[in-house]
Amino acid sequence: MKTHKPLVIGIGELLWDMLPGGKRAGGAPVNFVYHASALGAEGYAISAVGKDSEGDEIIRELEMNGINYCIPRVAYQTGHVPVTLKDGIPTYTITENVAWDHIPLTKEAVELVRKADAICFGTLAQRDKESAKTINALINEAPAKTLRVFDINIRQHYYSKELIEQSLAKASIFKINDEELMLLCDLFQLPEDTHKACHWFLDTCALSHVILTAGSDYSSIYTREGVSTISTPKVEVKDTVGAGDAFTGAFIYSLLTGKSVEESHKQAVETAAFVCTQSGAWPEYPSNK
């Protein structure tokens, strides 16, 4: 097993989730970093926030939660997303032309990525050309050994077949949920068979892993050696905000520390289940977690 702390980086949106019970800092790539860091990784968030009070506040929130960051201040409003919950399941309304749509390419970010063991990115923060250009430039700077995790994270209309194809071409690991998979089966004209579709992405896109989560039912990890499937534990759900990102962060951290796919999958399932019992994307971990 590796003895050094793996360096994991999330690149993309950083925002305020405006939940019914109050606002919480979030954004899928940053959530990924939080959970990997909580388990023992050295994590960095790369994004941008505004030169406003909400930007000041979100930076303090990162620091309070032990999240390292490379986050320039830009001349746009700090991102915020109204969230409604139905039976604990979130629905998002995403504000456009905000700070994380304008992530600049900085020397500090390039230097971080060149040392990364894993980087995580998605489609949402590539909706604007400026952030898309930065994200792709940073992915290109990563060493060949770096795990490139494409967590598709489809939101509203902020995706296209072309964008997904471009992102898959840069990825080594593809994370998707069951609803997103059905959408992609239609987009790529694939048979609506979960196993066939996941194997198609695994083989056609030269991936090492395809991670499929199916909410309260199960999750599966596809590799060339086989498939690991685990039923989702039954827990008392407070909300599911950040649970998928917790799954990804735990799985990648476990892989990087030398655990098998099966062991890493088990850690991911347990971590996501714990997050579902908590409120918000960055719950405090119990000391024995």
- What residue type is 284 in one-letter code? E
Domain membership flag for residue 128: yes
Residue 9: its pLDDT value, please?
A: 98
Range 2-22 average pLDDT: 86
Domain interval for residue 268 = 7-174+241-276
Residue range 198-211, pLDDT digits in tens: 999 999 999 999 99
Domain membership flag for residue 65: yes
Domain membership flag for residue 88: yes
Domain membership flag for residue 133: yes
| CATH number of residue 28's parent domain | 3.40.1190.20
Domain membership flag for residue 166: yes
Domain membership flag for residue 288: no
Nearest to 19 by CA among 79, 90, 78: 90
Distance of CA 25 to the CA centre of its chain: 14
Domain membership flag for residue 202: no
Residue range 72-102, pLDDT digits in tens: 999 999 998 887 777 767 677 888 999 999 9
What distance in Å separates the CA atoms of residue 168 and residue 151, rounded to the nearest whole number? 10
27 and 14 in contact (C-beta within 8 Å)?
Answer: yes
Domain membership flag for residue 56: yes
How many structural domains does the chain have?
1
